[in-house]
Amino acid sequence: MSDGDTAALPRQLEALDREQLLQTSRKLLAEADALSSRISVLNEIGLAINESLDLERIEHVIAKKAKWLLDFDHCSVCLKEDDDWRIKTLFGGPEPETLDLGKMPNLAQVIYTPRPVIIKAGSESTFLKDYASQIIIPLMAESGFMGAICFATTESNRYTRDDLRIGHMLALQLSSAIRNARNFAELQVTQAELKMRVEELDAYGHTIAHDLKGPLGNVKLRAEMFSMKFREQVPEAATKLVAGIGQSADQMTQMVNQLLTLAKLRTGDEQFTPVNVRKVVDAALERYSHLVETKGIHVEVSELPDACGQAQWIEEIFANLISNAIKYMGQENATPSITITGTSQPAAVRYEVRDTGIGIKPEAQGSLFEMFSRVHEVPDIEGIGLGLSIVSRIITRLRGEIGVESTYGEGTTFWFTLPPATTCVEGELSP
């Protein structure tokens, strides 16, 4: 029923007798049922095409279900891709791929308006030249015109404004699905390129860091040899300078090791095994035993539950946290201490490294785990601010959480959780 027929309907009904009114009512109810069915199919198509990000799959759904919406002998989607066009015939005979669609009179009306058109008795166009009735509807997105969907039949005067409205609703859903599919495809390309660049940078950084370790070892060795051989022959000031060179080499080696650890975290496989946490804590403490003894720090370790993870990574976590506690214990600390505890929780094991050091200001705690973050303004403490970011990344890879509680001037507690050892199943974490 056309728009004109709808407007004149009240006057027409007044002139009808009872039988005619019944017939008209039945006709209107049938049309309403048909429209309701078309809208229902339209909703089904919308749900189906928005479930996929594959353009081929989306076009397949349109080809399969659109016939329930409109009567046509031909259905095609014309998509603008840069300066080229892609014609995908979904139903009926294919159109020539070599056409310059921008110059086709019927499609040009849609491209340059852009508004849908109904052609009722053919058009002077090579595109769809064998079809008298045509509906051509633009496909639009935020970026502008993407293409058009075309319905056509050989019968003249076949399509109404209602058909155009249904086609337009389908075009809106198709436009959204195409936009999402294109965005997803672009995202995949970007992710692939980003992954390749990260891998290149990781390989480059790993090579540079690894190659630096040799010369740094030579610097430290030569500094030690100089001190041993010429200690009695050079002034004390020169001996101190050479000792400082050795210490700087140690610090640079530690930085290189941190960079290598970061590279391994991005490329390493996640093999989960039960870990004796007390054993790895003892190994981490052994690294700093000379500093603990020199600074008179009291260390207390309680019973520690085992965890599911990687022993090397968990040792690195505790080593970084212990190193931090030693660094920021404070020069005038009367009772320097480090306490390491562990408790079993329903779905995790929680560990704490608590110290009686200088503490962390509240405003600095939010950026603690960021790369190259240095939140303490303490002289004579070297580093590039990678330690805690490495700890955070390791714990994330091991599917745990980390946090900090600190009172400035009194001390700091770093806590983190790991999966319990019982969740390890054949190198993986059980659900």
Q: What is the pLDDT of residue 416?
A: 96
What average pLDDT does range 48-76 have in this prediction? 83
Residues 6+ apart with CB under 8 A from 318: 280, 281, 284, 285, 340, 351, 353
Burial bucket for residue 32 (CB in 10 Å: 0-12, 13-18, 19+): exposed
Domain boundaries, the chain: 3-186, 190-250, 269-429
pLDDT for the residue numbered 41: 67
Residue 70's pLDDT band (cuts 50, 70, 90): confident
Query: With bands split at pLDDT 50, 70 and 90, how would you rate the model's confidence at 24?
Result: low
Both ends of the chain: CA-CA distance in Å?
A: 60
Q: Per-residue pLDDT averaged across 284-309, rounded?
A: 93
Q: 3-186 and 269-429 share one CATH topology?
A: no
What pLDDT score was predicted for residue 431?
59
β-sheet bridge partners, residue 133: 153
For 175-195, how does the pLDDT look when each residue is reduced to its tens digit (9 = 90+)? 888 888 888 888 888 888 887
Tell me the three state secondary structure of residue 88.
strand
Q: Rounded to whole angstroms, how far apart are CA atoms 27 and 22?
A: 9
Query: Residue 95 carries which DSSP code?
Result: P
Instruction: Summarize pLDDT for 366-391 with one digit per residue, the tens.
Output: 778 775 555 555 545 554 456 788 88
Class level of CATH domain 269-429: alpha beta
Q: What average pLDDT does this structure show over 21-38?
A: 63
Q: Which residue has the higher pLDDT, 135 or 212?
A: 135
What is the structure's pLDDT at 278?
Answer: 96
pLDDT band at 232 (very low <50, low <70, confident <90, very high): confident
Lowest-confidence segment of 61-70, 140-149, 335-344 by average pLDDT: 61-70
* pTM for this predicted structure: 0.49
Domain at 3-186: CATH code = 3.30.450.40
